[in-house]
Structure 1
Amino acid sequence: MYIQEVAKRLNTTARTIRFYEEKGLLSPSKQANQYRTFTDEEVVRISTILALREFGVGIKEIKQLLDDQKQDRIHDYLNLQRAVLFEKWLEMKDMIHTLDQLLEGNNDPLISIKDLIALSKHLRKLKHLRQSWQDKWDFDAQASDYDQSLKMSGYRFNVHQDYETALEKVVDTMPLETGQTCLDIGIGTGNLGAKFLAKGVHIIGVDQSDNMLQACKQKHAEIEVRKGHFLALPMVDQQVDGIVSSYALHHITDEQKLLALAEMDRVLRPNGAICIVDLMFQDDAHRGEVMQYLKESGNAEAIHAIEDEFYANGATLVNWLQEHDYHVKTHIFNPILSMVYAFK
């Protein structure tokens, strides 16, 4: 098939096809008259390139994906691309919301410079907050033996004490039914989300670690996995009936936790529910009591573990949820592990 025929068939131009050839994405045969001819396989390759370009994938990345010749690589890259697009979309939403705040009820053409500067600072802060999280714990490296590492014994400070009890409590608490959709944020290898599969619930697992998502998919093929994180959930507004999260929220700062709650509220359908089980203190006073006890006990291991992460202030989470019209119930498993259940 000649280049003009291919271009017409794929609704593109000969110039575009030649461009991809120049970039090393195509190697068509050439006749004695230098006319390019394309096999059916090459036509499929061109259509794949065109599709990936529509999703914003760069030329360099497309070449790597096609040379790899593994379909899961394309899936993984598109999963990443979706996460990136959602982050950009949320940034645009933040900008529009900020402009609405500036213009709402303001009929004066001379908008206050003070207000303009204040809102622009707020917008920059919000953008920084969404992009500021760093994985200093290297969860990609932990994925292969993560489940084994949960079986801790003989340690003076066991962060996974009551782990299975807590997960079962989440499942028993969440009012999810067959056919409904539940989002598991920081799904890891799928230990919590998988417990809902027997109920016929569709589980979407979000995690920033590619290796964790792969491990989850290998264990539980029924779970839909998406690249993403607490601060930019890769889904549209009001998409899920329930949200769960276990042992993940303590990896983001207190300020980021409030943005994470706002993100959960954004994607949750009306009358939905949120259930978070995580390492947290009841309030600042409780944190002080626990830390003082550990210090007096000489338990440096526990103090280091707590200070290395961001155990939540449970009262702060509860207050935010109540201020946003949620009814909230809590359950304490042990001094550092609690569950927060919120519904409207």
Structure 2
Amino acid sequence: MKKKGESFMQIKEVAKQLNTTPRAIRFYEEKGLIAPKKDAENEYRYFSDTDVSRLSTILALREIGLPVKGIKKVLEDPDMTIKGYLHVQRSALVEQWLEIKDMIDTIDRMVECTDRDFYDLAQHLKKLKHLRKGWEDKWGFDSWAEDFDNHIKQEGHGFNVHQGYDEALERIAGTVHLDEHAVCADIGVGTGNLGAKFLAKGINVIGIDQSKKMLEICNKKHPEIEVRHGHFLALPLLDSQVDTVVSSYALHHLLDSEKLLALSEMTRVLKPNGQICIADLMFLDETHQAEVMDALRMEGNTEAIEAIEDEYYADRSLLVKWLEENQYKVETVMFNDILSMIYAKKVDKAGS
């Protein structure tokens, strides 16, 4: 029974206000998403302002494709915010969208080719699907997040993988030239150490990372950075959305076959004449890698050998080749035997 002075609405009134149906409202009640009061005498439902607000949130989340189970988790899990779940949903939708785009592109190519090429095109599509969905975090970056900023400052070890870290980040920030209010995407943003260098220049920074914990810390340290959940192979960005893409100490977590797809994804989201700047662990080429590894073996530096073999340091020459073949003008900088920077600017066919 309603108490005197309380403001309640009946189900038909709520349905009309929220442009839905009583049947839909009862469905969400059956699924445990809402629990309106019921009159003990006639079983009529009475919805409070809080109930109506909660229902409007449910309807909004359903409209963007969130499943009922996901919505229930958001509403009941104290550790899961609506904003956090929206990041997850955006990432999932982008992956679906890219898969559809890949299929449409394959169909277009099939229309233009002979039947004999169908199989090869289908296999290429299959490989793309596998690459986009197959990446996994075997290093547990969520567990690194709290101590990440201390971890990258390691000194005195037999092999300091972060030697040159600060210099590399400063070099990226000084190399990329952007107008005020331009948009910069920092992939593998971590705790925001690179992306933050662009904030003082009036640049809008979108920080992308697959680690939710890293994004949480980045958001606390640098609330001006717009954080998004995602990864190199399915960037949570629309086509031609950003002016530049930067990344530091992240690309080496991808296999070589994945690195080129990552460059393709960066190209997809870049505006015309956009820029890419990457500082990462890489060798100049296969010969250089063999020379460095041989020298470490001669020194007996097993710590360094194990660290390198645990990850996927790039072959810089392959990355440069791909960029040049895709209409980029490329410059490189070598900080030490394992750390380089690649700066690439998209140019038109005339080279301007």
- Report TM bin, short chain: over 0.9
Alignment match of 1:65 (pick from 43, 66, 74): 74
Residue 278 (structure 1) aligns with: 280
Q: Deviations 1:223-250 (Å, cap 9, x if unpaired)?
A: 0000000000001101000110000000
Residue 349 (structure 2) aligns with: none
The worse-fitting range, judged by mean Cα deviation, of 224-233 and 24-33 is 24-33
1:18 matched to 2:20: no
Q: Could you tell me how far apart the structure 2 residues matched to 1:126 and 1:10 are?
A: 42
Q: Deviations 1:22-58 (Å, cap 9, x if unpaired)?
A: 1111111112111111111101111111111112212
Residue 139 (structure 1) aligns with: 141
Residue 187 (structure 1) aligns with: 189
Residue 33 (structure 1) aligns with: 42
Structure 1 residue 69, shift from structure 2 partner: 5.8
Q: Could you tell me how far apart the structure 1 residues matched to 2:326 and 2:73 are?
A: 46
Alignment match of 2:98 (pick from 77, 87, 90): 90
Residue 224 (structure 2) aligns with: 222
Q: Could you tell me how far apart the structure 1 residues matched to 2:344 and 2:133 are?
A: 27
SS in 1 for 2:12: helix
Structure 1 residue 62, shift from structure 2 partner: 1.3
Q: Could you tell me how far apart the structure 1 residues matched to 2:131 and 2:69 are?
A: 30
Alignment match of 1:51 (pick from 45, 52, 60): 60
Residue 269 (structure 2) aligns with: 267
Q: Could you tell me how far apart the structure 2 residues matched to 1:217 and 1:274 are?
A: 23
Q: Could you tell me how far apart the structure 2 residues matched to 1:69 and 1:233 are?
A: 28
Structure 1 residue 271, shift from structure 2 partner: 1.1
Q: Could you tell me how far apart the structure 2 residues matched to 1:25 and 1:183 are?
A: 36
SS in 2 for 1:243: strand
Alignment match of 1:335 (pick from 337, 341, 350): 337
Q: Structure 1: 5+ residue runs without aligned partners?
A: none
SS in 2 for 1:136: coil
Q: Could you tell me how far apart the structure 1 residues matched to 2:76 and 2:247 are?
A: 37
SS in 2 for 1:26: coil
Tell me which stretches of 4 or more aligned residues in structure 1 moved more than 6 Å.
Answer: none
Q: Quick one: which amino acid aligns to residue 249 of structure 1?
A: L
Percent identity between the two aligned chains = 59
Structure 1 residue 64, shift from structure 2 partner: 2.0
Residue 81 (structure 1) aligns with: 89
SS in 2 for 1:11: coil
Residue 297 (structure 1) aligns with: 299
Structure 1 residue 122, shift from structure 2 partner: 1.1
Q: Could you tell me how far apart the structure 2 residues matched to 1:160 and 1:76 are?
A: 30
Q: Deviations 1:128-163 (Å, cap 9, x if unpaired)?
A: 011111100000000000001111111111111111
The worse-fitting range, judged by mean Cα deviation, of 212-221 and 4-13 is 4-13
Q: Could you tell me how far apart the structure 1 residues matched to 2:203 and 2:122 are?
A: 42
Structure 1 residue 60, shift from structure 2 partner: 1.8
Q: Structure 2: 5+ residue runs without aligned partners?
A: 1-8, 347-352
Q: Quick one: which amino acid aligns to residue 56 of structure 2?
A: S
- Quickly say closer, same or farther: Cα 1:94–1:149, change in 2 above 3 A: same
Q: Deviations 1:203-232 (Å, cap 9, x if unpaired)?
A: 000000000000100000000000000000
Q: Deviations 1:42-91 (Å, cap 9, x if unpaired)?
A: 01111111111112212122122112467x71100000100000000000
SS in 2 for 1:98: helix
Q: Deviations 1:162-200 (Å, cap 9, x if unpaired)?
A: 110110000110011211000000000000000111100
Structure 1 residue 116, shift from structure 2 partner: 2.0
Q: CA RMSD in A?
A: 1.1
Residue 171 (structure 2) aligns with: 169
Q: Could you tell me how far apart the structure 2 residues matched to 1:253 and 1:64 are?
A: 34
Residue 350 (structure 2) aligns with: none
Q: Could you tell me how far apart the structure 2 residues matched to 1:153 and 1:28 are?
A: 60
Q: Could you tell me how far apart the structure 2 residues matched to 1:39 and 1:137 are?
A: 47
What TM-score results when the alignment is normalised by the length of structure 1? 0.96
Q: Quick one: which amino acid aligns to residue 230 of structure 2?
A: G
Aligned residue pairs, count = 337
Q: Quick one: which amino acid aligns to residue 23 of structure 1?
A: K
Structure 1 residue 5, shift from structure 2 partner: 1.1
Q: Quick one: which amino acid aligns to residue 27 of structure 1?
A: A
Q: Could you tell me how far apart the structure 1 residues matched to 2:77 and 2:56 are?
A: 17
1:257 matched to 2:266: no
Alignment match of 2:211 (pick from 209, 212, 219): 209
